[in-house]
Amino acid sequence: MRQEIAHIRLLEEQIAELNARIAALYTRLHPSDVLRSIPGLGTRLAAVILGLVQDAGRFQGERHLRGFCGLVPKRSASGGVERPGQKLTKSGHDRIKWALYLAADAARRVDPQLAEVYWRLMVHKGHHHRQALCAVANRLVNRILSVLRSGRSYGLRGLEGEPITVAQGRPIIAARFSVPAAIRGSRRRQRVAACG
């Protein structure tokens, strides 16, 4: 038992040391720290995204960054008829897709605009939880490119475009964009692919 406890303590020390090194590198590479102003991007996810995206100037636009991240659905059309709801392409780095998926799940809980997208896709369009989160992740990619290019912090906005805080955003989401449990349960039985 003592050996296991000593091993756990050693691992915790190593994790703390790595976190300190990551924080120092992140601060050196991104002194403005505008990425963490986007809801859902905390210390770890912002560092992952910055490490993989690097320079926003190398992307021509939002579409190219979404393609780099692998958040583009496959196109399957036959006889002039497109089939919606296709799986995402296998392109893109798995780590950035994972980071954006986690960030989207956190962001939809505090940002009313993203919560509205998630709610609309779940309630009115019949999407699965993962499909709706991938759509929210696409919106996050647009915000990431915008703040990296402008160098200005992201300002959380309400549904009418007015500035709000996270504390103000949560009650708006709870009142207007809660997905009913029955809809959530019915979507769980459907088999769909995640973001990657």
pLDDT in tens, 19-62: 999 999 999 989 999 999 999 998 889 999 999 998 888 999 99
Q: Specify whether 162 is located in the same domain as 180.
A: yes
Token pair of 43, please? 């210390």
Q: Specify whether 23 is located in the same domain as 39.
A: no
Q: What's the average model confidence in pLDDT over 77-104? A: 71
- Tell me what pLDDT residue 34 has: 93
Token pair of 95, please? 């780590």
Q: How would residue 92 be classed by pLDDT, with cut points 50, 70 and 90?
A: confident
Q: Specify whether 23 is located in the same domain as 87.
A: no
Q: Tell me: pLDDT of 140 over 90.
A: yes
Q: Tell me: pLDDT of 3 over 90.
A: yes
- Tell me what pLDDT residue 128 has: 87
Q: In the chain, which ranges are E strands? A: 77-78, 81-82
Q: Considering the domain boundaries, does residue 172 fall inside one?
A: yes
Q: Considering the domain boundaries, does residue 195 fall inside one?
A: no
Q: Considering the domain boundaries, does residue 193 fall inside one?
A: no
Q: How would residue 94 be classed by pLDDT, with cut points 50, 70 and 90?
A: confident
Instruction: Provide the percentage of residues in the chain whose pLDDT is more than 70.
Output: 86
The one-letter code for the residue type at 111 is D
Q: Specify whether 90 is located in the same domain as 16.
A: no
- Tell me what pLDDT residue 39 has: 92
- CA 108/CA 124 separation, integer angstroms: 17
Q: Specify whether 5 is located in the same domain as 37.
A: no
Do the bridges between strand 77-78 and strand 81-82 make them parallel or antiparallel, or are there none, so unpaired? antiparallel
Q: Which domain holds residue 10?
A: 1-31
Q: Considering the domain boundaries, does residue 168 fall inside one?
A: yes
Strand partners, 81: 78
- Tell me what pLDDT residue 77 has: 52
Residues, the chain, total?
196
Task: Note whether 76 and 83 are within 8 A (CB).
Answer: yes
Cα atoms in the Cβ-side hemisphere of radius 13 Å centred on 107? 36
Q: Tell me: pLDDT of 103 over 90.
A: yes
- How many structural domains are present in the chain? 2
Q: Tell me: pLDDT of 104 over 90.
A: yes
Q: Considering the domain boundaries, does residue 126 fall inside one?
A: yes
